[in-house]
Amino acid sequence: MINVFGAKITEVEREEVNKVLGSNWLGIGNTVSEFETAFKKRLKLPNFVMVDNASNGLFMSLKLLALPPGSEIILPTLTFASCAQAVMLAGHRPVFADIELDTQNISAATIEPCITRRTGAIMIVHYAGLPVKMDPILDFGFPVVEDCAHAVDSKVGDRYCGTFGKLGVYSYDGMKNLATCDGGGVTSEDAELMERARCLRYCGIAKSGLENSKHKNRWWEYDIKDVFPRCLPNNVGAALGLGQLKRLDENQATRKRIWDFYGEAFNRLEWIKTPANADAGEQHSYFTYFVRLLGGSRDGLAKYMLEKGVYTTFRYHPLHMNPIYDSDAKLPNSEVLNDTGLNIPLHPNLSDEDVNKVVEVITEYGKQYV
C-alpha cells in the first residue's frame, strides 16, 4: 500500500538516537536542549520551548494567553480536532470560521463575521504549509496563535511562520515534515511567557531538583507555580529531531519535486483542481497534496485508488460538523471541500515508482469514469 503520509528515517537519525540510547538517559536532558538550540537557530526564533506534542503546545499557548474564562477563540473549521480540544480544555469556546476554497486557509474575510465582544483570540493554521495572509488578521488586534503543524519550513520573506502571532506551535509527530516519535514546540517573542511555558510543561514546577542543587540546600523541595499536565519532551524524540533537522532540506526538496510532478500531471486533467502555490516571496512546506475533484468524483476516486493500493484521505472533516462542539455555523466552503477534497500521497519516503503509480491510477480513473 502506498501511504498518504509518512516519514523517512536514515542512518543520520539512527546515529543520533543511538547516542542517546548509549547514554542511558532517555528522558528530558541535554539532547532536548541541543534540539531546542538547533531548531531555534534554523528558524531564527527569538525563544523556543520543546514539548511532547503540538496538541499540548496549542493547549499551553491558550493557557499562556490568560484570557477571561469563556472567551471565544476563532479557529478554522478545517483543522485537526486538537485545535478545538485545546480551546475547550483551556476553558474557552471555539468559534469556527470558514476557509478560502482555493487555499484551504482561514482569512481576514472568513474571520470577520465570527468576531463578537467576547472574542479573546484567533488561532490560525497554515494549511499544508501555505502561509496564511497574516497582516489583515493581526490588524483585528487580537492575540493570534499560529498552528504551524504543517509549516515547519514555511516563511514570508526572511520570517518563518510561527513568528507573526503572539505564539507559534510546531509539530514533530511521526508524519509531519520534521518527524519524530511525537514532539512539538512553542515559540514567542515574549521571553517571560516562554519561561512560564518551561514551567507549565513540567507540571507547573518552577525548577528541577538538578537545577536547584546548584544553589539551594534541600534542592528536592518543589516550587509548584501553576496547574498543568506534564508535557515534557524526551531525549529520544529530540535525537530523532536533530537527525531530521540535518536532513530537512533534503526531505523538503523531495516533497517539492513530487509536488511539481503532480502539478504538471494534473493540470492536464480538467476535473482536478491542484492546490495553490505560495506567492512570490513566500515559501511553502508541501506537507500534503490537497486536490479538489469536480463532478462528484471524490468518493469514487478514493475508493478506486484504495482498491489499486493507494491510500488517500480527506483532512479535515470540518470540526463544526461534529455535534460535540454544538455549533450551528454554516460554513459553505468547508462543506464543499468535505464532498470534493482529497489528500493524495506526498512524503519523502515515496519512490519514483510510487509517484508514477499515483498519477497513473488517477489518470486511469478519469478515463474510465469522469
Binding site for ligand PLP (CB under 6 A): 53-55, 79-80, 82-83, 125, 147, 149-150, 171, 173, 184
Q: What residues contact residue 320 under an 8 Å CB cut-off, 6+ apart?
A: 77, 96, 327, 329, 331, 334
**CA–CA distance from 267 to each of 270, 292, 363 (Å)?**
7, 12, 11
DSSP β-ladder status, 155-156 and 159-160: antiparallel
Alpha carbon of residue 74 to chain centroid = 17
- Min CB(315)–ligand PLP separation in Å: 7
- Min CB(170)–ligand PLP separation in Å: 8
Nearer of residues 93 and 150 to ligand PLP, judged by Cβ: 150
Nearer of residues 87 and 361 to ligand PLP, judged by Cβ: 87
Residue spans of alpha helices (H) in the chain: 11-23, 30-42, 54-65, 81-89, 108-111, 135-138, 191-201, 209-212, 235-246, 248-266, 298-307, 332-340, 352-369
- Min CB(319)–ligand PLP separation in Å: 11
Q: How far apart are CA 265 and CA 253, in angstroms?
A: 18
- Min CB(81)–ligand PLP separation in Å: 8
3-class SS at 6? coil
Helix (H) or strand (E) holding 121: strand 119-125
Nearer of residues 275 and 366 to ligand PLP, judged by Cβ: 275
Q: What residues contact residue 156 under an 8 Å CB cut-off, 6+ apart?
A: 131, 134, 164, 281, 282, 283
Q: How many CA atoms lie within 13 A of 336 on its CB side?
A: 14
Q: How many CA atoms lie within 13 A of 370 on its CB side?
A: 20
Nearer of residues 137 and 272 to ligand PLP, judged by Cβ: 137
- Min CB(134)–ligand PLP separation in Å: 16
Nearer of residues 13 and 146 to ligand PLP, judged by Cβ: 146
- Min CB(55)–ligand PLP separation in Å: 3
- Min CB(175)–ligand PLP separation in Å: 8
Q: What residues contact residue 308 under an 8 Å CB cut-off, 6+ apart?
A: 357, 361
Nearer of residues 13 and 182 to ligand PLP, judged by Cβ: 182
Nearer of residues 165 and 184 to ligand PLP, judged by Cβ: 184
